[in-house]
Amino acid sequence: MDLIIGAGISGLSYAAKTPNDYLIVEKDNEIGGYCKTIYSGDYVWDYSGHFFHFQRPEIKDYVMSRLDEKDILKVRKYTQIYYKGIYVDYPFQMNIHQLNKDEFIDCLYDIFTIDDSTEVTSFKKMLFAKFGKSIAEKFLIPYNEKLYATDLDKLDVDAMGRFFPYADKEQIVRNFKNSTNQSYNSFFLYPRKGVIKIVESVASHVDKSKILLGEKLLSVDMKNKKAVTDKRTIEYDNLISTMPFPVLMDKCGVEYDKEVYSWNKVLVFNLGFDKKGPEKQNNWIYFPDRELVFYRVGFYDNIIGQDKTSLYVEIGFDHEARDIDIDQLLDRTLSDLRKVGIITDQKLVASHPIMMDPAYVHITQRSEEDKARKKELLKQSDVYSIGRYGSWTYCSLEDNIHEAFSLAKAVAEKQ
Ligand SMILES: Cc1cc2nc3c(=O)[nH]c(=O)nc-3n(C[C@H](O)[C@H](O)[C@H](O)COP(=O)(O)OP(=O)(O)OC[C@H]3O[C@@H](n4cnc5c(N)ncnc54)[C@H](O)[C@@H]3O)c2cc1C
């Protein structure tokens, strides 16, 4: 029997595909993990904005085949950066010609005079090496420091993988006249009733009687293949965990250097207002300004076509940040939303805070090496760790489904 820890998209996808007998243990009282949706009056909110740009047709078909097409919105992505009181199209590096003349010249000059003698050993150094000092310092560094809540010199060169919008000099210059603003997702899909609809589609392939909700894994005896929950002891053949990787190691009694694993947490305020505000185009806006508390604000109303402002506001913290005062932060958020003109005379009528902890893991050279070694060690005892946090990575929900399907096949074939 395969024991699956977690009924998020990864755990459910594994269960949906494995031919083995299985049981899912989920500490929460609902399925979905980070892909839950909150319904509050007129508002539909996810834990944070969750949008889809499938790259693998077979996974798109699998998910979509059990959803009604009319409930899925296809949205042309429109996103901008609020930079010193003006709006610049995203990605910043492709749209420096929208800055004032002096700043544009600084950015352009710096791209063409990059010092390529320095070894690129971190995410921060990569930003300087690829885009020059001005683009790095005006947007890429302050924005990503607000998001990751860490020194970007700590992160691996490839910390954001395919999610980072690279652009070379030629693409940048070409974009001055012929704007394409291409990034990895020019269009995205979004279920009108929230991301939980995607989870429910996958969960419709899973036997509900095999999901134990409200039950928490406490420890694992890898030698005797027994898992202890707060309700029972379960014997397993394979253990598939989607918990954060360091948590799994703790539960399995695997020793590791705690310094190797760090992450940010993101406080998300979902906010509903009584009427529509002035912002009618953007799906979301990026805020590099360190004086503003949030790094990104998303507009559900512009995505689903609603006549009342419905926002998600994201604020990054180091994982060790303590004593976070939610009420005070909400006041600060509303004040900063007024400052940038997103709120004018709309009244707040509903709000819902969520702390996503972890949210973005800090991918470093050491974490990548240690993870690979420890995953191999766990595998020798038939313990597998998958998912965004189980694989300690930056990925999309589609990647989670792909990884879970691949593991289900590999585990079935080894027997
Ligand atoms: C701010 C933000 C924005 C995002 N936006 C997008 C997006 O636009 N598009 C996209 O595709 N992806 C997006 N993602 C990524 C997406 O949310 C994740 O890839 C996905 O939710 C990960 O699913 P998972 O099943 O691997 O992990 P989780 O959803 O974390 O599920 C793990 C499950 O394990 C359970 N669990 C943990 N410990 C225990 C225990 N001891 N016992 C029992 N159960 C336990 C948890 O309760 C949880 O249900 C975003 C993520 C963040 C943080």
**Domain extent listing, the chain:** 2-32+55-64+193-258+363-414, 79-177, 264-356
Grade residue 117 by pLDDT with cuts at 50, 70 and 90: confident
pLDDT digits (tens, 9 = 90+) for 126-140: 999 999 999 999 999
Closest ligand 1 atom to Cα of 25: 43
67 CA distance to ligand 1 middle (Å): 21
In angstroms, the CA 294 to CA 287 distance is 7
Instruction: State whether CATH 3.20.20.80 applies to domain 264-356.
Output: no
CA angle at 380 for the pair 2 and 371, rounded to the nearest 5°: 95
pLDDT digits (tens, 9 = 90+) for 4-61: 999 999 999 999 999 999 999 999 999 999 999 999 999 999 999 999 999 999 999 9
- Percent of the residues in the chain that have a pLDDT greater than 70, as a whole number: 98
Q: Is the CB of 35 under 6 A from ligand 1?
A: yes
361: exposed, middle or buried (C-beta count within 10 Å: 0-12, 13-18, 19+)?
Answer: buried
- Amino acid 61: pLDDT: 96
145 CA distance to ligand 1 middle (Å): 22
Grade residue 245 by pLDDT with cuts at 50, 70 and 90: very high
pLDDT digits (tens, 9 = 90+) for 184-243: 468 999 999 999 999 999 999 999 999 999 999 999 999 999 999 999 999 999 999 999
Q: Is the CB of 387 under 6 A from ligand 1?
A: yes
- Amino acid 177: pLDDT: 84
CATH top class, domain 2-32+55-64+193-258+363-414: alpha beta
Within 10 Å of residue 330's Cβ, how many Cβ atoms? 17
- Amino acid 411: pLDDT: 98
Task: Write the CATH number of the domain with boundaries 79-177.
Answer: 1.10.3110
| Range of weakest confidence among 180-184, 336-340, 354-358 | 180-184
Contacts of residue 195, Cβ cutoff 8 Å, sequence gap at least 6: 32, 35, 36, 37, 46, 50, 397
